[in-house]
Amino acid sequence: MQSLAQVGGVFLIFVLTPLLGALPLTRWLVQALTGKRLEQLGTGNVGVSAAFYHGGPKVGVPAVLIEAGKGVAAVLLARAFFPLSSAGGSEWELIALIGLVMGRFWAGQGAGMTNAVWGVMAHDWVAAALVFVLSGISFTIFRQQKQGRTVSLVLMALILWLRQPGDEAHGLAAVGLAGLLYWITKQMPDDLDLPQQKAQKGSSKMFKLFRGDRALIPLTKPLDPSKVGNKAASLATLKSQGYPVPAGWVLPPGDDPRGFGQSGTARC
């Protein structure tokens, strides 16, 4: 049974964490240091990736610290009313992160991924470390940024659930957080899709690393002409209709063509 203080804590979690997420600290930071308004640039996202892309590391690193601080603060707020048990942090810490991410998305124009990552680290650093290692291994194997992110979210939910197998509420909160992050990433354009060569000095190598080999888009998939051009999209359509189109892949603008297409396959 919850105490009166914990009832008040629940109220504060539901009110304060969305407000904290909505607080546009990264937007203010970038505008103060560069004079740029992230919502008017590139994808329009106001997040850590955009800060790195448009402002470089001197802006991106402080943005990481700010958003990480939000995630840790949300967890510590919940922990003040729902202390650690022998099993670990309570489900309210994850619910606080859900509120933070929702505020970040609906009012702050960001995905809240950095908030969630550092919040989970404050909630259960062992689980966070396991997710980091296993996600790194999967990304090394598959080199697909979007698939790698999905794998990371599935691992996060699974590992957090297994860390407290007897606490169903904790497991459901973990699944809820992972599901919310997955849904948000599907709603927002990805800053990693922006041309690598236009990234600020010092950030282009980082963007190249996290983009992985997503450049290898096969003609077996339906393609958007606005992203890959009419020729590639037409070839993909013809191939899907059974015409004898050679095996091929598309190399989007800004990706490194070295070593690609040397096996005699078609290039668009």
Rg (CA), the chain: 21
Residue 262: what pLDDT?
46
Q: Residue 85 CB: number of other CB atoms within 10 A?
A: 10
What number is the average pLDDT over the span 173-200? 80
Q: Is the pLDDT of residue 213 over 60?
A: no
Contacts of 160 (CB under 8 A, 6+ apart): 94, 120, 123, 124, 127, 170, 171, 174
Residue 252: what pLDDT?
63
Question: Sign of torsion, CA 157 158 163 165?
Answer: positive
CA 19 to chain centre: 20
For 30-49, how does the pLDDT look when each residue is reduced to its tens digit (9 = 90+)? 999 999 998 888 788 888 88
For 122-167, how does the pLDDT look when each residue is reduced to its tens digit (9 = 90+)? 999 999 999 999 988 877 766 667 778 889 999 999 999 999 998 9
User: Which alpha helices (H) appear in the chain, and where do they start and end?
Assistant: 4-22, 25-34, 48-55, 57-81, 91-106, 113-123, 125-142, 145-163, 168-187, 204-211, 225-228, 230-240
* pTM for the predicted model, two decimal places: 0.75
For 236-251, how does the pLDDT look when each residue is reduced to its tens digit (9 = 90+)? 888 888 888 887 777 6
Structure tokens at 12: 């504060």
